[in-house]
Amino acid sequence: MLKINNLHARVEDKEILKGINLTVNAGEVHAIMGPNGSGKSTLAAVIAGKEEFEVTEGEVFLEGENLEDTSPEDRAHKGVFLSFQYPVEIPGVSVTNFMKTAINESRKAKGLEDMPAKDMLKLIREKSELLEIDRKFLSRSLNEGFSGGEKKRNEIFQMAMLEPKLAILDETDSGLDIDALRIVANGVNKLKSKDNAVIVITHYQRLLEYIVPDFVHVLHNGKIVKSGNKDLALELEEKGYDWLKQETVI
Amino acid sequence: MDLKEKLVSSFLAFENSVDVDHPVHDIRSEAIKNFETKGFPTKKEEAWKYTSLNTLQKIDFSIFPKKESMLEYRDVKKYFLHEIDTFKIVFVDGVYSSFLSETTHDGVDVCLMSSALNKPMYKQIIDVYFNKIASKVDSMTSLNTAFSKEGAYIYIPKNKIPKKPIEIVHFSTGNEAALLLQPRNLIIAEENAEMQIIERHQSLTANEVFTNSVTEIFAAKNANVDYYKVQNDLTTASLIDNTYIDQKDGSVVKVHTFSFGGKLTRNNLNFYQNGERIDSTMKGVTIIEEKQHVDHHTLVHHIQPNCESHQDYKGIYGENATGVFNGKIIVDKIAQKTNAFQQNNNILVSDKATINTKPQLEIFADDVKCSHGCTIGQLDEEALFYLQSRGIPKKEARALLMYAFANNVLESVRIPELKVRINKLIANKLGVRLGFDL
């Protein structure tokens, strides 16, 4: 599904990713953990194609296709989805209209007609029930005045609507209370299949109790310094990140 | 002969076409004197620092159209809010078109300034209201007053509401190589009266048009007036709009100005709060490009206590477009508990576009809430990335963000069909077809 080779990226003069190697296969859940400033969100943004970051070395392949020079929208059309840590507020554009636009743009890119209104409504109803989202919520302006939890739930609703091949959840657990966390995790779990893959970026082990990873990677100073199974997350929870830092120095 | 000389000397010819014994003619004579003394405003004046009328003065404008022009409704239908039934006061090259208009005298008067000035039955109202709130000092207003003869006259008596919105539309056909138009409108809402007005100036060919318009609006106690100005003209059309509003106790007047096109557009919007518990609202969306110029000069004079004013202007400037926002708020010493809010936000889409924005507050009372803010920026890159990451192409994403930026100004538009129309105009201006009706 996703293959990253020796990825280096920088913003302005600052190198943030310093040689990332990562392979994610269909049907897998990967967790990426690490201290603040280790490059987790940058990695997510680079995979999604944010132009602010310059890739200086290495490649990102999605299903064997090099994503170099591919715009964020084209990546989205190919099946990449990024759940934002800080979703942006768009006043005047309702959640429903936003999703209609996003889905139909994606269909247009694939040479398909607009989705018929009745199918769209059915899809919206189905997916909003999955995320336990009130219908009234869908006619509100996108993210405007949403609570932290509502924003994150709305991100996963968008993911459910767009049905990506590769979903990257960037700190989706931050700002969520335990009930919201359960709803969001439940939504992600129901969307998981053998044909798609999920990368969960998180600071804490908490979310991983609900979305159980097949692999856990620790990012530190722009590199993956340790990989393991779900037990690694528990170990990190217990010991913190300091022991890893020392290990890399040695 | 320059334009000023031409205008002053034309006044004699103009006098042959009006009743010089009417008291209004004394007002005209005073006004032409003031214009003759002052002339056109120049960039040396603070209020005209960023807007030059020099180029316009070099054009040889016809002051009186030579012949009457006919227009077929089907050819100009799209410029009306034809989705709904409206009263219409329509002028073609400055001349009233009875064919395109739909006026009324059924309980309310929606008709012509020329009738109001000529017919004895209106004399009393003209004596009370005509030129009472318009400036006697401002030279462009004086120029209009001097030649005041035709325009819209709307009188809504106490407790009355017209059956439908009123459209005031000025077409110019290009029959003259260059035409100067000076419509003069008088709009009166008596106690508890309500009305909705849409004003539009539209040239139909690329010949030069220069409109210098004056509108006086009187809103009596608890009256409610919604005024929508749609400025989406060709780049050979220039407009100086001078609007003066007198409000009494408890009245609500909202003016929305949508400036989407024109060579030079200057809006002088002046509110005078002559009473308590008054609400004055000014909203504007400006979206221009090429070398177009839009200048909003607003004034709110808080004369009495316990009143509010709200100003919210949004601007999007592309290519070599230039914009000006100057918002003046005066709060008199006795106008305690005033609540005055002013906001002007701008996006510059190109490196060559400019905006000059300036709040001007003169506050003499001590127990007031006044806030003002202005911003000039580019589109938020993070927001753009967010939309693109959902599969929305960059061009559409930019348009969607600009739409979102300007949108909240539309919330207070109370004619749903007009709101849809403005939304479509905005989408067209931004050059996109979005996946839904804005």
Q: Quote ipTM for the complex.
A: 0.95
- Select the residue from B314, B347, B378, B387 to test the A interface by mutation, using most A Cβ atoms within 10 A: B387
Closest Cβ opposite residue B394 in set A73, A75, A82: A73
- Select the residue from A88, A151, A157 to test the B interface by mutation, using most B Cβ atoms within 10 A: A88
CB B112 within 8 A of CB B96: yes
- Judged by a CB distance cut-off of 8 A, whether residue B383 touches chain A is yes
CA pair distance A2, A25, nearest whole angstrom = 7
Position A233 scores a pLDDT of 87
Is B1 a residue whose pLDDT tops 80?
A: no
Using 50, 70 and 90 to split pLDDT, how confident is the model at B233?
very high
The residue among B158, B155, B266 whose CA lies nearest residue B210 is: B266
If you average pLDDT over residues B338-357, what whole number do you get?
A: 96
Is A174 a residue whose pLDDT tops 90?
A: no
> What DSSP assignment string belongs to B145-190?
HHT---SEEEEE-TT---SS-EEEEEEE-S-SSEEEE--EEEEEE-
CA pair distance B25, B38, nearest whole angstrom = 20
Residue length of chain B? 438
Measured CA angle at A43 (ends A37, A47), to 5 deg? 160
- Judged by a CB distance cut-off of 8 A, whether residue A47 touches chain B is no
Position A250 scores a pLDDT of 47
pLDDT 10s digits, A41-55: 999 999 999 999 999
**Percent above pLDDT 90 for chain B:** 89
CA pair distance B88, B164, nearest whole angstrom = 10
Backbone angle region of A235, left / alpha / beta, with phi > 0 → left and psi within -120 to 50 → alpha: alpha
Is residue B434 in some structural domain? no
State residue B276 phi and psi, 5-degree precision: -110, 165
Q: Which residues pair with A44 in a beta bridge?
A: none
If you average pLDDT over residues A211-229, what whole number do you get?
A: 93
Cβ atoms within 10 Å of B49's Cβ, excluding its own? 15
Residues of B in contact with A103 (CB under 8 A): 391
What would the two tokens of residue A188 be? 């992600």
Q: In B157-170, which positions are buried (b, 16+ CB within 10 angstroms) versus exposed (e)?
A: eeebebebbbbbbb
CA pair distance B137, B41, nearest whole angstrom = 12
Q: Which helix (H) or strand (E) holds B306?
A: none
The residue among A214, A218, A236, A239 whose CA lies nearest residue A227 is: A218
CB B122 within 8 A of CB B157: no
Cβ atoms within 10 Å of B360's Cβ, excluding its own? 16
**What is the identity of the amino acid at B191?**
E
Long-range CB contact pairs, A155-158, < 8 A, 24+: A155/A83, A155/A84, A155/A87, A156/A83, A156/A131, A156/A184, A156/A187, A156/A188, A157/A95, A157/A127, A157/A128, A157/A130, A157/A131, A157/A133, A157/A187, A158/A81, A158/A83, A158/A99, A158/A102, A158/B390
If you average pLDDT over residues B288-311, what whole number do you get?
A: 97
Is A249 a residue whose pLDDT tops 60?
A: no
Q: How far is B270 from chain A (nearest CA, A)?
A: 29
How many beta-carbon pairs below 8 A join chains A and B? 84
pLDDT 10s digits, B56-108: 999 999 998 777 788 999 999 999 999 999 999 999 999 999 999 999 999 99
What would the two tokens of residue A81 be? 């989805």
Q: Which residues pair with B33 in a beta bridge?
A: none
Residues of A in contact with B380 (CB under 8 A): 88
Q: Are A100 and B436 inside 8 Å of each other by CB?
A: yes
If you average pLDDT over residues A65-84, what whole number do you get?
A: 96
Position B241 scores a pLDDT of 98
Position B211 scores a pLDDT of 98
CB A159 within 8 A of CB B391: no
CB A74 within 8 A of CB A109: yes
Lowest mean pLDDT among A198-212, B106-120, B352-366: A198-212
Q: What average pLDDT does chain A have?
A: 92
- Judged by a CB distance cut-off of 8 A, whether residue A92 touches chain B is yes
If you average pLDDT over residues A106-132, what whole number do you get?
A: 93
Using 50, 70 and 90 to split pLDDT, how confident is the model at B158?
very high
Position B438 scores a pLDDT of 40
Residue A12 DSSP code: T
CA pair distance B147, B18, nearest whole angstrom = 10
Place of tokens 């990335």: B385
Is B434 a residue whose pLDDT tops 60?
A: no
Total count of domains within chain B: 1
What would the two tokens of residue A179 be? 């009930």
If you average pLDDT over residues A192-198, what whole number do you get?
A: 95
Is B437 a residue whose pLDDT tops 60?
A: no
Domain containing B92: what range?
Answer: 3-429
Lowest mean pLDDT among A27-31, B225-229, B291-295, B379-383: B379-383
Q: Beta strand pairing status for A141-142 and A90-94?
A: antiparallel
State residue B373 phi and psi, 5-degree precision: -160, 145
Which residues, 6 or more positions from A68, have their beta carbon under 8 angstroms from its beta carbon? A55, A59, A60
Position A203 scores a pLDDT of 84
Q: Which residue of B has its CA nearest to A87?
A: B386
Is A178 a residue whose pLDDT tops 60?
A: yes
Position A246 scores a pLDDT of 66
If you average pLDDT over residues B21-30, what whole number do you get?
A: 95
CB A160 within 8 A of CB A193: no
Is residue B233 in some structural domain? yes
Over the Cα atoms of chain A, what is R_g? 18
Position B66 scores a pLDDT of 77
> What DSSP assignment string belongs to B95-150?
EE-TTT-B-B-SSSEEEEHHHHHH-GGGHHHHHHHTTSSS-SS-HHHHHHHHT---
Place of tokens 């409109």: B211
Pick the CATH number of A2-249 from 3.40.50.150, 3.40.350.10, 3.40.1190.20, 3.40.50.300: 3.40.50.300
What would the two tokens of residue B77 be? 């239908």
- Judged by a CB distance cut-off of 8 A, whether residue A71 touches chain B is yes
Q: Are B389 and A75 inside 8 Å of each other by CB?
A: yes
CA pair distance B286, B193, nearest whole angstrom = 30
CA distances from B175 to B17, B65, B100, B178, B261 (A): 21, 8, 18, 8, 21
What would the two tokens of residue B251 be? 């009245």
If you average pLDDT over residues A182-199, what whole number do you get?
A: 93
Spans of all domains in chain A: 2-249
More confident position, A148 or B432: A148
- Judged by a CB distance cut-off of 8 A, whether residue B364 touches chain A is no
Residues of B in contact with A170 (CB under 8 A): none
Q: Which residue of A has its CA nearest to B409?
A: A92
